[in-house]
Amino acid sequence: MTHENPANGLFYLAFFVLSIIGVVGGKPWKQKLYNLLYILGGSALGVGLGVLFMVWGTSPGAAGDLAGAFCPIFGAAAAYICMRHNMKREAASQRPEPKASGLR
């Protein structure tokens, strides 16, 4: 019997919202693809960390719950990082070019 954490729904909601914002925020299609792969990698890292507990001998039921809980947490963290990179990239593209000084 598994015990459902009431916060899991919030984690998944944050994961989906941040993932959509992170992927859509990439300007060229290549950046959108990189953001998607980055988010999927973060989710895979969360599942892998959750499975490590099962491999190292803790109860398989608890490890399964951890893998399911770590997936959206690490995925949302990766999506947030993608959002920050998108915002910094956009701010850098709007910055005016520095004027060349007459000193040589």
Per-residue pLDDT of 76-94, as tens digits, reads: 999 999 999 888 888 888 8
| pTM across the whole model | 0.75
Give residue 1's pLDDT: 42
For the segment 7-66, what is each residue's pLDDT rounded down to a tens digit? 677 878 888 898 898 889 888 888 899 999 999 999 999 888 888 877 776 676 666 677
CA dist 15 and 83 (Å) reads 12
Question: If you search the block for the tokens 């990766």, which residue do you land on?
Answer: 78
